[in-house]
Amino acid sequence: MNPFKSIWNFLYISFHRLGSPREFYTISAYATPVFGLLFLGLSTYGAYLGLFVAPADYQQGDSFRIIYVHVPAAWLSLFIYVVMACASAIGLIWRMKMAFVVALCSAPIGAAFTFLALATGSLWGAPIWGTWWEWDARLTSELILLFLYSGVMALYYAFDDRRTAERATAMLAVVGVVIVPIIHYSVEWWSSLHQGATVFREGGPAMPANMLTPLLLMALGFTFFYGYCLFHRARNMVLHNERNSSWVREMINELE
């Protein structure tokens, strides 16, 4: 048998299994701790390299090390929004229950990362730029992203009927995706106080490998943290949404 075909079949079947709330609940019980461990391992190693091994920057000295929290948090704030928008679109088109769950559970995590990016940016700006906050294009668009996440959460809880809430929220999340390229290119399209892109730019990263490696490790670790939180939240939401279904009732009966 063709190995690629069997791998593809495996992925295809797993995806379909994850689409069912019950199967998701079973599979995520194993995946969640794995994500948690990967997060701990990668970010501990990344933080060690970033704080102790990476050399100090020639002009910012040791204060540049906040980059190892600020930049992964900012990347994640955008990445989570894209995941949320894609899941919302899948939910709207295929009326898939789990897609709405993924989208809604991503919103508070994304909002937390956006807040972290703004807060660490502020802490970084105070000594280096000489200001906590300036209304430049990058800072302002990132703040709008925080409002967008808040709007998605607020809209969901504004409806009594779950289906209406899911669809309305998903529509807002899909439409809001236009903010993502605006944030990314804000430092190119307009003059700003914020620096341009260091890593994702033409001509490769403007940073030596011993500074870049911890950054990438932290970013990967943060991504697993997102997965870990997402699975936890999604498991709770699945139980809540499916509280009247037989498998949840059976599980509760077994506990009692």
Partner 1 sequence: MSPTQKKRLKIIGLIVTGVAIAAFFALRAFQANIEYFLTPAEISAGEFEPGVSYRIAGLVQKGSVSTLADGVTHQFTITDCVDDVVVQYTGILPDLFREGQAIVSLGKLNADKLMIASQVLAKHDENYVPTEAADAMMLAQASKCDNAEGPISY
Query: Which residues on neighbouring strands pair with residue 61, listed in sequence order?
Result: 57
Q: How many residues bind partner 1 (CB under 8 A)?
A: 42
SS (H, E, C) 3-63: HHHHHHHHHHHHHHHHCCHHHHHHHHHHHHHHHHHHHHHHHHHHHHHHHHHCCCECCCEHH
CA distance 242 to 65: 45
Instruction: Tell the smallest beta-carbon distance from residue 35 to partner 1 (Å).
Output: 30
The least CB distance from residue 89 to partner 1, in Å, is: 6
Which of residues 33 and 61 has its CB atom nearest to partner 1 in the complex? 61
Regarding 11 and contact with partner 1 (CB under 8 A), the answer is no
Residues 182-221 that bind partner 1 (CB under 8 A): 182, 189-193, 195-198, 201, 206-208, 210-211
**Residue 73 near residue 120 (C-beta atoms within 8 A):** yes
Cβ neighbours for 43, distance < 8 A, ≥ 6 positions apart: 217, 218, 221, 222, 225
Residue 64 Cβ vs partner 1, minimum distance, rounded to whole Å? 7
Q: Which is nearer to partner 1, 54 or 116 (CB)?
A: 54
The residue among 121 and 227 lying less far from partner 1, judged by its C-beta, is: 121
C-beta of 76 vs 137, nearer to partner 1: 137
- Per the rule left: phi > 0, alpha: psi between -120 and 50, beta: everything else, 99 is alpha
Residues lying near partner 1 in the complex (CB under 8 A) are found at: 55-61, 64, 67, 89, 92-94, 127-131, 134, 136-137, 171, 174-175, 177-178, 182, 189-193, 195-198, 201, 206-208, 210-211
